[in-house]
Amino acid sequence: MLLLIIFSITQYYNVTIGDGIKFAQNGFSFSPASTEQVTEYISDNQLDIDILHYTISLELLPKEKLINGKVIITGKPKNKNVETVILNFYDNFNISKLTLNDQDIKYRYEDNKLALFTDSEIADTFLIGIEYSGTPESMGFGSFEFSEVDEEPVIYTLNEPIYASTWFPCNDLPSDKVLADIFITCDSSLTAVSNGSLINVSATGNKKTFHWKSFYPIATYLISFSVGDYVNFNQYYKYNDQDSMKISYFVFPSDLKNAKTDFSFHPEAINFFSNTFGEYPFLKEKYGVVENLWNFGAIEHQTITGIGRSFVSGSQFFTDVLVHELAHQW
């Protein structure tokens, strides 16, 4: 029966037998986090703080499969003063600097938690600075991946449900939404794509730094980036007689023709959902789709859906997948 399904898929949608097999295999190979993992992931202390903003700066070294990170976290206590701040952060990194309000701080870093201990209670807004380096663990569906396409580096993240902390320290509660600035430094031949709006691209030597900014609150599991040898093309969603929003696509050069066919429906779909649910929530930023090597379909990262290369067929076979992810933006 499975072979018959695969054969039918390939004949009807003009995809290869290999694509049909891969699609069927992907449907049976998910390995999400267990209920126990999710329950133990958040400590009671983390419920007492409210993170307001992350500035995430990463330098990517794909040949070495390393990252150099600097993260600045702005937060505040919720309803009572706190003496300890606990963050989710996988404990395989080397922390070279850690400060609280620009002062060195005592801390414990184990069991994938980073605990900061103060000499006096924190009653107001606080600022945590962390510098670190290492190789991120890839957990869940592939929370951090170093790979290649046509001998060019591809690096991408997928945090769902509890794996943002595999590459940056955070209070990884879906309810603790934040604003974010994301700086990705990579080889100048590559393009870094992330949530929100592209603010600036700066060049230093053979490196480029891409600054993306989320002006709307975002959950940590939806913070993401993808880096690759991308080509970009755009469409526009016109939401009134005078104004429109850019829909940006970032795909591998060899998939450009297929992507233009597969992604062409988006303006109509955004218009439909806006009329059904209310206006698209991130009008001042964008909507977009970025291609990566994820094997399981697509993921609804805020303002920038990620889709696996196997699902860019040129036959519009996976339109339902893309429509599904678009709907998550609401």
Place of tokens 């590559």: 190
For CA atoms 177, 164, 300, 247, give the dihedral sign. positive
pLDDT band at 1 (very low <50, low <70, confident <90, very high): very low
pLDDT computed for residue 154 by the predictor: 98
- Helices 17-26/2-13 angle, 10° precision: 130
Mean pLDDT lowest among 5-19, 46-60, 105-119: 5-19
Q: pTM of the entire structure? A: 0.90
Structural domains present in the chain: 2-30 (no CATH), 39-225 (2.60.40.1730), 231-327 (3.30.2010.30)
Write the CB contacts of 168 (distance below 8 Å, at least 6 apart in sequence). Answer: 54, 56, 58, 69, 71, 89, 223
CA distances to 93, 198, 286, 302 from 215, rounded to whole Å, are 29, 11, 11, 11
The helix/strand/coil state of 7 is helix
Strands (E), 89-224: 94-100, 103-104, 106-110, 113-122, 126-134, 144-149, 152-157, 178-187, 191-194, 197-204, 207-218
Neighbouring C-beta atoms of residue 21, cutoff 10 Å: 15
The helix/strand/coil state of 298 is strand
Write the CB contacts of 181 (distance below 8 Å, at least 6 apart in sequence). Answer: 53, 54, 55, 56, 199, 211, 212, 213, 214
Per-residue pLDDT of 228-276, as tens digits, reads 999 999 999 999 999 999 999 999 999 999 999 999 999 999 999 999 9
- Helices 266-277/319-327 angle, 10° precision: 40
Write the CB contacts of 269 (distance below 8 Å, at least 6 apart in sequence). Answer: 323, 326
pLDDT computed for residue 18 by the predictor: 53
Question: What residues form DSSP beta bridges with 148?
Answer: 153
